[in-house]
Structure 1
Amino acid sequence: MAQRIRSWVRGMVRRARSDGGMTTSEYAVGTIAACAFAAVLYKVVTSPPVMSALQSLLKDALDAKF
Structure 2
Amino acid sequence: MGEKTIHTMTQAIRTRAVALAVEDEGMSTAEYAIGTIAAAAFGAVLYAVVTGNNIVSALTDIIDRALNTAV
What TM-score bracket applies, with the shorter chain setting the length?
A: 0.5 to 0.7
Give the counterpart of 1:49 among 22, 34, 54: 54
Q: Unmatched 5+ residue regions in structure 2?
A: 1-17
Residue deviations 1:13-59 (CA, integer Å, cap 9, x gap): 88x757x7x60110110011011001001101111111100111122
Matched with 1:61 is 66
RMSD: 3.2
Q: Number of matched residues?
A: 64
> What TM-score do you get using the length of structure 1 for normalisation?
0.59
**Which letter does structure 2 place at the counterpart of 1:33?**
A
Q: What TM-score does the superposition give when structure 2 sets the normalisation length?
A: 0.56
Q: Give 5+ residue unaligned stretches, structure 1.
A: 1-12
Report the Cα distance in structure 1 between the residues aligned to 2:50 and 2:32, rounded to whole angstroms. 27
